[in-house]
Amino acid sequence: MGLEFYYNPLSSPCRAVWMTLKALGVDFNKHTIDVLAGEQKTEEFKKINPQQAVPTIVDGDFHLWESRAIMTYLCDKCDSEGNLHPKDIKMRALIVRALYMDMAMYANFLAHLEAIMKNGAIDEALLEKARKDVAKLEENRLTKYIVGDSLTIADFCVLTSLSMMEAAQFDCSPYPKLCSWMKTIKSLPYFDECSAEFYAFLKSKEEEQKAKKVAVVAGTETGKEPAVEPTGA
């Protein structure tokens, strides 16, 4: 019987766990939780995770949540060679440091995106915080991978966090090392499977914004009130 994985495909932490499961070749069953519909708040799910959050895994009688805890647990259990989470204590310390740094970056990236979605405009202060985090990655934290010269769980965490900036249509082209690293991680054989729904969602939102802008222009040109408010994006 495989491990049970409760997730939402639009969630960055969920996708980081999903990529870890695929990279390790773990046998697992997926259960999509629609957090916008409040499925995580049902009594049934509360029995699985009293914190009512995703990602969550159930491995036999063991229930675990928080993405970074799940990822390290999976590596300790399933990655005997220590490929994604090396056994060397110094390398592990560097990975743990990267995971903590990612928590702060993710919070800044998400705050920037949420402000755009809520207000229809960029909050310059939040954008500056996010931009500084991206610049630090480019200048100080990237070799071939986030930690050292091989793929680790830190790469999954940071890439999925950065997807929040992609969602906010942040231009990464001034950061060539970052762009090269992102291309490397996105070329992994399981990346598309774990990310397809997220990027399809982004594309649908982009089309929605284009349609709104067309409606605004059309309303202006005909002398009518615009059908929608300009987004400022």
Active site residues: 11
* Residues in contact with 200: Cβ distance below 8 Å, sequence separation at least 6, in sequence order: none
- Residues 146 and 150: their CA atoms lie apart, in Å, by 9
Which residues in 210-228 are b (16+ Cβ under 10 Å) and which e? eebeeebeeeeeeeeeeee
First-residue to last-residue Cα distance in the chain:
47
Which residues are CB-contacts of 106 (< 8 A; sequence separation ≥ 6)? 12, 13, 157, 161, 164
Beta bridge partners of 32: 7
- Sequence length of the chain is 233
Amino acid sitting at position 105: M
Q: What is d(CA 40, CA 5) in angstroms, rounded to the nearest whole number? A: 13
**H helix and E strand count, the chain:** 8, 4
Segments of the chain assigned E as strands: 3-7, 28-32, 56-59, 62-65
